[in-house]
Structure 1
């Protein structure tokens, strides 16, 4: 049985691994007024931030359509896929899983598609896909891989700090009052994504305090267990390096990468966002 992997453009994973595992991507659409762009296809990260700075407008997003997913699944079936594992951003945050599930039902006579709600976004999706790719190589059936991923996703962690809550408030990810108070007090909210839902966990007064708090929260969750780490950032690479060093001093890290957060997520939290994510280590320390 040939099993293929699909995700959406909220996934963070180093490009060479995306290519190595032949992970296909259904792009989210970014809307600047009447202009629409496929994330990382029609618009790159630099242009995305240039447009925000020039217009002062927060763009909107829309998930890949049912038709786009069906086309991608049919393409993979044409290439010989018998089964597809399609892993996506948390269903509580986006309609992407729903679109994928509807498309899966449309193509069910051609190819079996398993849609997995990552209950996360960004690097944890990437680590889930890397995990799945290794199991595919070991000959695991797709259904067993999906069950494994659904167990592992509960152990993934995402904690991040945003410069302010203006973007999250405008996109509806946090309440208006919380966003206004954050801006007035010039505080740095620390946010967690748990069970597919975003929660403001605490607020601190500086970027340094935010990084320390992110590492502390992560350590409380993962303890001394072996983990893979992804540090993601929005236009703040030096702080990302500092956060990685803080994480290495406290966590039992086996594999790690630093990446610019995908613009499909950055649209909701804005520039200067900085996050620390973990996923349970599954072996193969040479993967990166």
Structure 2
């Protein structure tokens, strides 16, 4: 029984991470300056932020169509018996809904999973699923493990500017203005598929320290962890600061991962964070 893995571009998994497992990724779309671009294929985060500095209109995002998913499933099933399709939280995007509509054409040969996460929260689930496929596990076994992991997984991040949260309707204009004046840095988490507040601190150093302290507590509580670090353009130095603060902490390092254009549209430049999950489910 062979199983193919499909995900979407919000997993932020680079091609070199997907290639060893044959993972297929369906791109979401960014509508920018009057044109529709495929995430990670036709547009990168630096294109967005450069364009915004030049005065172009604020981008928006959109999910793939059911027809696009069906085409990928059809191709995958030419060489695999089943498809396991893992996607961005249904509370953040309509992507998993499109995937489920497409899956109806293939009966029980395609299983669609709502990761209840985003970026490397999704990406780490995809990699775990691919590892289990390589071990010969069945789709029900893999889905059950992913559900156990998701219940304990965590994402904690901070944004460098409140402007993109304002633009995308996450906070009001007055709150964004006041936060900017007071140098307030929000701490954000992903819980039950939603982006929620994890608190707020004043200043960049305290925001970085919050992430460092959170990772330390998580590793201690779970007796270890798999940790993936993520950042948008402009957050690379912040990421180095987080890593420096974690020197000597024992965890399975899943690497640094640039956030793609779709997620960056909502997070903005200078975003930095960590995605954590237990080593064993």
Q: Secondary structure at the match of 1:17?
A: helix
**What does 1:157-236 align with in structure 2 at a 5 Å threshold?**
157-175=154-172, 178-222=175-219, 223-235=221-233, 236=235
Aligned-partner Cα distance in 1 for 2:218–2:134 = 30
Partner of 1:286 in structure 2?
none
CA distance 1:280–1:51, change in 2 (3 Å): same
Q: Secondary structure at the match of 2:61?
A: strand
**After superposition, what is the alpha-carbon deviation per residue over 1:75-109, rounded to whole angstroms, capped at 9, x for unaligned?**
1112x22111111111111111111111111232x
**Residues 188 and 205 in structure 1, CA contact (< 8 A), matched pair in contact too:** yes
Could you tell me how far 1:175 is from its partner in structure 2?
A: 5.0
**Residues 28 and 61 in structure 2, CA contact (< 8 A), matched pair in contact too:** yes
**Residues 33 and 56 in structure 2, CA contact (< 8 A), matched pair in contact too:** no
Paired residues, number: 279
CA distance 1:138–1:256, change in 2 (3 Å): closer
Is 1:145 matched with 2:138?
no
Unaligned runs of 5+ in 2: none
Aligned-partner Cα distance in 2 for 1:178–1:219 = 31
Partner of 2:42 in structure 1?
42
In the superposition, the TM-score normalised over structure 1's length comes to: 0.90
Aligned-partner Cα distance in 1 for 2:81–2:190 = 33
**After superposition, what is the alpha-carbon deviation per residue over 1:133-158, rounded to whole angstroms, capped at 9, x for unaligned?**
12111111112111111111111111
CA distance 1:182–1:256, change in 2 (3 Å): same
In the superposition, the TM-score normalised over structure 2's length comes to: 0.92
Unaligned runs of 5+ in 1: 284-288
Aligned-partner Cα distance in 1 for 2:77–2:254 = 33
Could you tell me how far 1:160 is from its partner in structure 2?
A: 0.5
**Residues 131 and 282 in structure 1, CA contact (< 8 A), matched pair in contact too:** no
Q: Secondary structure at the match of 1:107?
A: helix
